[in-house]
Structure formats: structure tokens, C-alpha cells
Amino acid sequence: MDKFTQAFKEFAVEKRVDLLGFAPIERFDGVPAKHHPKSIFPETKTVIVLGKRITRGTLRGVEEGTQFDIYGQYGLSWLSDRMLAITTIAVATYLEDNRWEAVPLQDLPPQIPPSGVPVKPELPAPNVMVDAKDAAVRAGVGEIGYCGELLTPQYGPRQRLQMILTDAPFAASPILEKPVCDKCKQCAKTCPLGAFASGKEKAVTVCGKSMAVAEVDYAICRRCQNGARPNPYHGAGLPDRLGALCVRSCVDHLERSNRVENCFSNEFRKRPAWQCDIIGRPSLQQSV
Ligand code: SF4
Ligand code: SF4
């Protein structure tokens, strides 16, 4: 590893970056202009993907069904838009102190439609949205699991991401080879509303990495009262499911089966999971 990359990584760790990966811009070949990093910064050489974990304790109130705002702030709103954003800009300033331009990017939903007109004939309409989950796969940070969420070897589905586009030519991080998801389908089995009911799956291939992803009925997830939340940025975006029963079941499964590095002295799910039906009536889930 060259000295600059080493120093950059050390700085990032000091700033409590939990996840870090480097995708050379060539790994985005074939991505449409409306989602391509070069549409924002044509000189981009590297897309840096960085993330902070959602601490497991942040999910506790939702798992017990007694406190949902802890997750709403420390797992979603504050974590993304305050804590991680501060970390991202700190890392960006490090790059700019070293004469490399650094464009910080939030994890905004790629489903957001354009809100303006192209300012030149060859350009896409603003705003270009780079898909952070997709970029994380290209940067070797993780994979798309069967549940449709990003899984990392360190934290499973427990993280928030942002990106930095830079003209600094970092060495590429290897694409993740060893799968995190074992297709146990606990996410599907524990969904009380049948969002996985079609049983269909599709192969998503990114940079030659093929991942089996379930067909999820997100219209059902939008009505889910099992810890899911509306997309915090735009109504067109997919709902946030990282605190939902499906994804909490994934957290529990990945820890019990030793498939993630960040493990704990005590199991995550200690009692039968609560669930609510489509009109919000609660019951306890039989073990599945
Ligand atoms: S619960 Fe199992 S199948 Fe679903 S995403 Fe997690 S590991 Fe994959
Ligand atoms: S968010 Fe709710 S409805 Fe959607 S898959 Fe998860 S548990 Fe099921």
C-alpha cells in the first residue's frame, strides 16, 4: 500500500469510519449517466465508500417494541445526517488538504426523479443520484443480501453509508468474494405481511459479482408497522427497513451463525419477536 493510502486509512479510522472501500471509476462502466459519478465530477478517479455501523443497542428499543425513536435518531436521521456526515466531510477535508478534490455524497435514493432540465445537451438532468448500495458493492464493502439490503462482513445489515468522489487515484479494494448471506430466508419467513410472498428472486450482477436478491413487494413495506419507516429523503425512495422485523431477524441469524465479525456476549433476539399485522394489531411470533 502506498504511503498516502496508508495515511488516509489511518486518518479515517481515527475519525471512527467503520467501513471503507475504494472503487476505481472504471468499475462504474455501463452505469447510466443519471446515476454515474462522472456526471457529477467528470475527473473522478475513485469513488470512496465510507460507513458507520448502526450500533446493535440502537436496535434494542425496536426489537423490544418499546422505544422506536432511538433507532429513528441514532440509527437513521442523526447517524446519517449528523454523525456520518461530519465524518465524511472530515475525510473530504483531509483529501483537499492534500490537493485532491473531494465531492461528498449522501446516500440519497436513486429512485428520486430529476428535478430540473439538462443544462447542456450531453448532460443528464439534475439531480444525478449515485446509488450508494451499488457503489458499496463496487468498492468491495459488501454485497446485496437476499433481503435486498447491503450486508457487510463486519456488521451484516447494520450500517449507513456515504460516498466521496475524488480525483485521487487510490488502489482498488477487492470485490467481496466470500458471501455474507447464506440464503437462510429468515428475513422472508419472519415478515408478517407477506412482502416476500411471490417467492421469486433475481440475480443482480455488479462488477462480475452475482447476488440472488428476493423480489420484495415494497408497497407492502411502505405500510409495515414492524419497525419499517418511510424513506427519510423522498417519497419515491424505498422505505427504510434496517429496523424492521425482516432485517432484525437477519441481524440475529448472522450473529448466531457466526457470519459477521461484530459479535456479542449475548444473543440479539432474547424473546419471541413481536409483530403487527397490516392494520397494526400486535401478536407474538411463533419461532420460525
Ligand atoms: S436473513 Fe438470511 S437470507 Fe435473509 S438476507 Fe439475512 S442471511 Fe440472507
Ligand atoms: S419491512 Fe415489514 S413488510 Fe417489508 S419485508 Fe420487512 S417486515 Fe415485511
Q: What is the pLDDT of residues 83-113, one digit of tens each?
A: 999 999 999 999 999 999 999 999 999 999 9
Whether residue 288 is predicted with pLDDT greater than 80 in this model: the reply is no
Q: Domains in the chain: how many in total? A: 1
Which domain does 110 fall in, by range? 3-284
Q: Ligand 1 center to residue 235 CA distance, Å? A: 26
Residue pair 252/190 in contact by the 8 Å Cβ criterion: no
- Sequence-distant (≥ 6) Cβ neighbours of residue 285 within 8 angstroms: 190, 192, 245, 272, 273, 274, 275
Question: Is 240 a residue whose pLDDT tops 90?
Answer: yes
Q: Give the pLDDT confidence of 28-43 residue by residue, as tens digits.
A: 999 999 999 999 999 9
Integer angstrom CA distances of residue 66 from 205, 208, 221: 39, 43, 20
Q: What is the pTM of this model?
A: 0.98
**Can you tell me which atom of ligand 1 is nearest the CA of 246?**
1
* Ligand 2 lined by 260 (C-beta under 6 Å): no
